[in-house]
Amino acid sequence: MKRFLNAVLVAGVGFLVFHATLVPVYAASGDGRSQAAQSPSGAAPDKQGAESYANHCAICHGEQREGILPAFPPLVGIKRQLTDQQITDLVHKGKGRMPGFPKLQDDELTALERYLASPGLSAPEMASGASDNSSGAHSSGLAEAGGALFHQNCAFCHGRDTMGGETGPDLTRSKLVQADVAGDKISEVVRDGRPEKKMPAFNFSSQELLSLSAFIHAQATKAASMKGGRRGVDASDLQTGNVAMGKQYFNGAGTCAKCHSPTGDLAGIATRYEGLQLEERMLYPRGAKSHVTVTLPSGQKLTGTVAYLDEFVVGMRDADGTYRSWPVSRVKYVVDSPVNAHVDLFSKYTDADIHNLMAYLQTLR
């Protein structure tokens, strides 16, 4: 028996050694959830850091530290956002959904932190020459350096070309970017972040912020000329209608006056909304509430706004703000959606009607 157990032990060690090799990028990763075996002692620190990352962090933060947005942030360039001590604390204690790894210490921790400081896989060379550039003479070099920084730290949210990504807005159409002069406004946002909008703060140097701003401005200029992405609509584009005809349509064929009043609910509408936003809301106001009356089996009637409705469940918020729901099969309910009048008009408008209405509404200031 003992010999057999020895045999198992030898086989087991051999098996573990066989599986200890790092998986190259282009190959399948086996069962991604299994713990990779400890590497043989004496592995180089970079390799150890990469292995530590692969074992503990990659499942959430991505195999290339690219993150899985919006829940798991990218870690490329994390040293810009956090100090070493902050990183150590995070790794040990975790935060929110991130678990802590209190046993990650000493050599492994040092190696991991060194790995986290290394540049990302696909990022172009960090232009260390940026700090040598005088801002005037080498502005294109500055933008290029900013581009490298942008790709590593900003592109995941704002898109590689700054024209918007999954969770970040198009910077080329940003009023703040347009008003920015040599990075004065952009720097503030980058340094402080926008926590209410889930944008982190970044600890860049003044020179780095200058290069980032140069890149963003270069992209905005490019966007204004030969570029393929979506364009925009300015308020000045929407001034082709006739006010008098719009007023006539409002009170007549448009049936708007049945629900709306220029001195009532629409008083000052043109100060609250302008341009495309006003026209979109005029045609269909998103977020308009529908009302529902629910009759319970007892005969009792309850009223409120529709909070949820599918084939199976009706959900209502009453005047107190209490949410209640019922299986549709157990109650009777009647929904009143005044906003449907907007949908009914779609097939009736001419484009001239829309432009005229827009002209009229813009007088309601």
Partner 1 sequence: MKFLKNVFVVVASAMVSASPYSLPAQNVDATMLLKPPADSWPSYHGDYSGKRHSKLTQITPQNVNRLTLAWAFQTEHTATIKSSPILVDGILYFTLPDNLWAVDARSGQQLWHYTYPPNKGDHIGQRGVAIYKDWIYFTSPDAHLISLNAKDGTVRWIVQIADVEKGYWTTMAPLIVGNHVIVGVGGDMDNLQTFIRSVDPETGKTQWQWDVTPPAGTPNTATGGTTWMAGTYDPDLNLIYWGTGNPTPVLTGSTRPGDNLYTGSIVALNPDTGKLVWAFQPSPHDTHDWDAVETPVLVDGVFHGQQRKMLMQASRNGYFFVLDRTNGKNLLTVPFGPVNWTLGVDKKGQPIPNPAKEPAPDGRLIAPDEGGLTNFRSPSFDPHTGLFIVDAHPSWSIYFAKPADGTYGWAGADYGLWGKGVIEAIDYQTGKIRWSHEVGPGGSGSGVLTTDSGLTFTGDAHGNFLALDTANGKTLWHAGSGGSIASSPITYELDGQQYLLTSGGGVLFAWKLSDTSR
| Least distance between partner 1 and beta carbon 261 (Å) | 23
Subset of 278-337 contacting partner 1 (CB under 8 A) = 279-280, 283-284, 310-312
Considering the rule CB under 8 A, would residue 10 count as an interface residue with partner 1?
yes
Both tokens assigned to 314: 């009706």
Contact 62, 32 (CB under 8 A): no
SS3 readout for 298-354: CCCEEEEEEEEECCCEEEEECCCCCEEEEEHHHCEEEEECCCHHHHHHHCCCCHHHH
Considering the rule CB under 8 A, would residue 99 count as an interface residue with partner 1?
no
Residue 133 or 362: which CB sits closer to partner 1? 362
Q: What is the per-residue binding string for partner 1 in 140-179, x denoting contact by CB under 8 A? A: --------------------x-------------------
| Least distance between partner 1 and beta carbon 232 (Å) | 6
Near partner 1 by CB under 8 A, which window of 97-105, 134-142, 186-194, 349-357?
349-357
Contact 111, 41 (CB under 8 A): no
Q: What is the per-residue binding string for partner 1 in 208-237, x denoting contact by CB under 8 A? A: -----------------xxxxxxxxx---x
Look up residue 129 and give its amino acid: G
| Least distance between partner 1 and beta carbon 68 (Å) | 6
Residues that bind partner 1 (CB under 8 A): 3-4, 6-8, 10-12, 14-15, 25-33, 59, 63-64, 66, 68-71, 121-122, 160, 225-233, 237-240, 276, 279-280, 283-284, 310-312, 342-343, 346-347, 349, 351, 354-355
